[in-house]
Amino acid sequence: MPIAIRYVQLYITIKSRKAKEMSIWSQKKIKIGIAVAIIAVIGLSAGLAVWEYGRPKVILATTTSTYDSGLLDSVLPGFESKYFVDVDIVAVGTGKAIATAKSGDADCLLVHARSKEDAFVSEGYGIHRVCVMYNDFIVIGPSSDPAGILGMTDASDAFKMIASVEAIFVSRGDSSGTHTKEMAIWSEAGINPVGKAWYMETGQGMGATLTIAEEQQGYCLVDRGTLLSKKDQMTLIVLSEGDSILLNPYGMILINPEMYPNINHEMAKNLVAYMISEQGQQKIADFRKGGEILFKPLYGKCASITGCPTQAQELAFWGPISDNYGTASVATHCEGFYCH
């Protein structure tokens, strides 16, 4: 389906849900707006044989890495076919994805900043977080490597070296999961780079930030999945990897239906169950670019790989639900804490 139509449908879905809580006159205005939007889309897409206006929606707020890498385009069609539903994706940084959920404009989250995820749940906005998959962050930079960090396995030491020579560092600067991780490494290094002439904040997603880093021939922190999906467009190389702080787990969270009664909670629950089921986990494991794995299944292995303190609660809640698809049992064989 053309992306313009999907965004209009997403707009209609959100506005329709919020209209339930508005006055009759406001509802009429929304209906008029919806009608105008429908007419505009039909006018722009006259050649489209079938417009799935009546098809149910579930809104997933997620990170740019899961979208830019192509993972969701590979994994979600199986779910959409099973339930005859469209998953509308809001692909932004983790911080913005959580803000979207807090505004009631998402049914579930797929994000990668554990401290923010835990806060979202503890504050009552979300319920039942679950580990889904993981990869790792890596520090990339120009092959000339002016900071001399090639082969370093301590991320904070690598950042210290970059700062010491004032080499260009390109940051997302957008409160995303990647930016949150980057700032944690700077903090561990005892350095605040914000405002320095050599430190560039793009305020954009991972793909756009990588493009700028490539243009500037600067250093950058990136998740391995996104880099692999764009490696044919890059001359920057991997310089530092392997530190435990660079582990990058992704979690899904259901939005609290008591706080947001108009969300599609039941379908969101089905979506999370699909992602951690044997079928969904296998889809994640099978997704590759150039023969390389971008994300690794994590459900049921979160404690052994990431030290997840809530695995028992996650399994207790999700086990019976995911069994509707078949028990998630995809093996991940690792040396150290990640597999390549």
Pair 21, 167 in one domain: no
Contact 35, 43 (CB under 8 A): no
Domain finish residue from 247, 269, 285: 247
Q: Would you say residue 71 lies in a domain?
A: yes
Question: Quick one: the chain helix, strand, coil %, rounded to 5?
Answer: 45, 20, 35
Pair 166, 307 in one domain: no
Averaged over successive runs of 10 residues, the pLDDT of the chain (340 residues) comes to 48 53 42 45 36 77 91 95 95 94 97 93 94 94 98 97 98 92 97 97 93 97 89 94 93 96 95 92 92 88 79 79 52 36
pLDDT of residue 305: 80
Q: Which phi and psi (to 5°) does residue 142 adopt?
A: -70, 150
Q: In 3D, which of 339, 136, 82 has the Cα closest to residue 249?
A: 136
Pair 120, 190 in one domain: no
Pair 96, 175 in one domain: no
Q: Would you say residue 175 lies in a domain?
A: yes
Pair 263, 226 in one domain: no
Pair 177, 235 in one domain: yes
Which domain does 17 fall in, by range? 3-134+249-322
pLDDT of residue 301: 83
pLDDT of residue 316: 82
Pair 162, 299 in one domain: no
Contact 210, 132 (CB under 8 A): no
Pair 120, 262 in one domain: yes
We report the CATH number of the domain holding residue 100 as: 3.40.190.10
Pair 10, 127 in one domain: yes
pLDDT of residue 298: 87
